[in-house]
Structure 1
């Protein structure tokens, strides 16, 4: 499909556009999650301590990934909005400013991570697995620039409707990681540190592929040397769109670290393994919602650029119904085959002893998956409407609700309280973000009707 055809789909029927953009993203996220599962599956052979070390570090790693993804979503919203307004040159400038912003940000972030990581791991309850966790995290801290820029380039591709190209990036990364994992973990006897090195090398391959797509003029937007200079107004637009989204992702994953501490205090390192392993399968179940939410951003943003509130509302309504239906279907299948789904994580004798507890946890966790589906759809729509800050506030509120639910229910139900706390917290979060989104949509309809665009989108 040509670059012009991608843009034509982006600006056309919203249902068709969401399907065309979401399907490659679903494949991309499936491959990405297969990447995480491969890490856990290979490392499960190292025992419970290795799995606990990974569980402690993963929220920090995902926070770094989330910062890149947040920058990518912000860039996607601005780029697609400029394309919708038929201003290709501004779209090219916005893409280049997103890359420059990411570079500046990560130069500041990397030394802060390296200086503070032991303290962070102590707070997160690494305890007996501190050395293993620190070794695992150091690789990601040093290579944060690779992880963050990979997310930014993927977002720029998505913003111009080239989701198939961003999917190729993810496939390259996942296949490389799956191949490299056993080599570094067992072949070179590097343990969990080897898993991190394999992931970083795979991310480098993905980044190089994405850079090639952009620089080789295979996409609608081309970033030339003239675009790679600081432009105050374009940088402001990118910052306004990207920073709240980066904060939202960072809050979401950082709060996961806090939740892990509560889990450790309730059930120890074994409890963390029982909690985090089924949660990986929930991440698989909600992939359609995540993909559809990402597809909604450029579709609704381009409609916003055209000031077409009808197409915006139609895209949101369709995305919400489609994502909830898909997640409920997958949750029912997982509920029925929960023991079989967990086998890949419990093949070793030590892990097999925990399988019944994991099955019990997974069956409860499946109940919250449909509630989680509201988050990426509403968050993406708020970003498209130029109100990413509302999404951030909803994310903070949802995570505070989760923390409160965990603490309250775990105090008298133990680990079961943690699992049911997920259901309660996401019920509160889903109802809140849906209400905020609908109110924002109604206000935006009045603004567009009076030809007034929110300040944050100008």
Structure 2
């Protein structure tokens, strides 16, 4: 075993503040590179015209389904494996890692079949017949390579589970860099258009998965992935799905919200409204990267603290994460609001897109006010994953879905501008809901630990 992996594990099991800080930096770098990759994707595909951009925005929820399952399994791996490592059970942790990957391959087959069957009906439901062919052109490569899209997220989650933040970063950065290199070649040089953009993403996921698995094949990690680890067991499946199903359901609910939202947006602003609605949000996602990095780092640290029987360390880690997220997201919110016009210039460099710059900047400026509640809500969900109370996060998301869709529906009866105002206000509603649930769950966990020790 390499000394580096032993040191990473010792850091994760030590001071929660130092552990979260140590893992957050590489996670932040990897997430920034991934988001830059999305911007580069948008840069290249926007050169294909507004129809192509609208098609990508319209079918984005379908692509996000693959991501939802990958992230769900990655979070499940991070939470469950780190808990076992906190208890000192490396053999059980290794078995969970292998079980998660095996389950990921099986899930990818089912998800591909579902997306293929739902693709046509969903395009019809959203009223996007004019760009349906372009949407199918973009989605099909993902249907054929979903195993790679899901596995690379799982491998990154397993690496985080044993404190390997830098190695997890390498996996995610590999995916982004390969994608950015392939985009112009496949889209323009070889002339594959939207199919080329999707294929670049798929090939990059394969490369990232190969990088992550190479470390386990070399025997340098704390976990030992033998053939036996990949044989699914009832105990392993129950452990994984306890986090995976609620976390994935949460993501799928969000994707359903996005799909239905698009129906309301198209009804009041046409298919071009989807572009106005979606493109500026990418800057908010970019601004949420620190919160995502902090949350991804906090999950294994706080989960391992619970495995050690130390709820005080868990609470300290959560408190530190909240303060850090609030500080960073507030600063980034101000930057987005002030520099909205300059930011959307990246998407409006072509003549066909220039006329849309003013509207895109206005939407982005309003979205800037949603960044802080969005970031803190995302962190709240991560806290519940660490507490292994994923069902509570799903419950909050379920209620949020009804509140948000009702607000957007009513707003769409008036104007597109009203929809944006409603969306921003809704993010403050879900933050209040999530904060109340997280506070209660932490209090219950501490009380439970106190009564057990007595």
In the alignment, what sits opposite 1:109? 111
Structure 1 residue runs of 5 or longer lacking an equivalent are 453-458
Q: Which residue of structure 2 aligns with residue 320 of structure 1?
A: 322
Structure 2 match to 1:235: 237
Equivalent position of 2:419 in the other structure: 418
Question: Secondary structure of the equivalent of 1:450?
Answer: helix
Structure 1 partner of 2:452: 451
Contact 1:84/1:306 (8 A) holds in 2: yes
Aligned partners of 1:108, 1:337: CA distance in 2, in Å? 43
User: Is the 8 Å Cα contact of residues 60 and 254 (structure 1) preserved in structure 2?
Assistant: no
Deviation, structure 1 residue 249 = 1.7
CA distance in 2, matches of 1:173, 1:422: 32
TM-score by length of 2: 0.97
1:429 matched residue in structure 2: 430
Offset at residue 17 of structure 1 (A) = 0.9
Once the 2 structures are TM-superposed, how far is the Cα of residue 161 of structure 1 from its aligned partner? 0.8
Q: Is the 8 A contact 1:327 1:373 kept in 2?
A: yes
Unaligned runs of 5+ in 2: none
Displacement of 1:44: 0.8
Aligned length: 451
Alignment correspondent of 1:186: 188
**Preserved CA contact (<8 Å) 1:293 1:380:** yes
How far apart, CA to CA, are the structure 2 residues paired with 1:235 and 1:362? 42
CA distance in 2, matches of 1:218, 1:282: 38
Given that residues 266 and 273 in structure 2 are in contact (C-alpha distance below 8 angstroms), is that contact kept between their aligned partners in structure 1?
Answer: yes
Is the contact made by 1:177 and 1:199 (CA closer than 8 Å) also made in structure 2? yes
In structure 2, the partner of 1:349 is 351
Shift of residue 193, structure 1, vs aligned partner: 1.3
1:408 corresponding residue in structure 2: 410
Q: How big is the alpha-carbon RMSD for the aligned residues of Structure 1 and Structure 2?
A: 1.4
CA positional deviation for 1:10? 0.6
- Asked if 2 retains the 8 angstrom alpha-carbon contact of 1:64 and 1:250, the reply is no
Q: Which residue of 2 aligns with 1:456?
A: none
**What's 2:149 paired with?**
147
- Equivalent residues of 1:296, 1:377 under 8 A apart: no
CA distance in 2, matches of 1:59, 1:230: 30
Aligned-residue offset at 1:113: 2.0
Deviates more, 1:392-401 or 1:346-355: 392-401
What is the rounded CA distance, in whole Å, between the counterparts of 1:319 and 1:208 in structure 2?
32
Contact 1:297/1:384 (CA < 8 Å) preserved in 2?
yes
Deviation at 1:363, TM superposition (A): 0.6
How far apart are 1:101 and its partner, in Å? 1.5
Q: C-alpha separation between the residues in 2 aligned to 1:351 and 1:115? A: 33
Aligned to 1:201: 203
Match of 2:335 in 1: 333
Other-structure match for 2:380: 378
Stretch moving more, 188-197 or 403-412: 403-412
- What per-residue deviation string (whole Å, max 9, x for no partner) do you get for residues 145-168 of structure 1? 111111111111111111211111
For the residues of structure 2 that align with 1:118 and 1:358, how far apart are their CA atoms? 29
Task: Name the CA distance, whole Å, in 1 between partners of 2:292 and 2:259.
Answer: 21
Aligned to 2:84: 82
Task: After TM superposition, list the pairs within 5 Å mapping 1:155-304 onto structure 2.
Answer: 155-304=157-306
Q: Distance in 2 between matches of 1:244 and 1:337?
A: 37
Q: Contact (CA 8 Å) 2:70, 2:154: kept in 1 or not?
A: yes
Partner of 2:310: 308
- Deviation string, structure 1 residues 28-85 (Cα, Å, up to 9, x no partner): 1111111211111101111110000000111211221121011100111001001111
* Whole-angstrom CA distance in 1 between matches of 2:123 and 2:133: 10
CA contact (8 A) 1:402 1:424 kept: no
TM-superposed CA distance for 1:218, in Å, is: 2.6
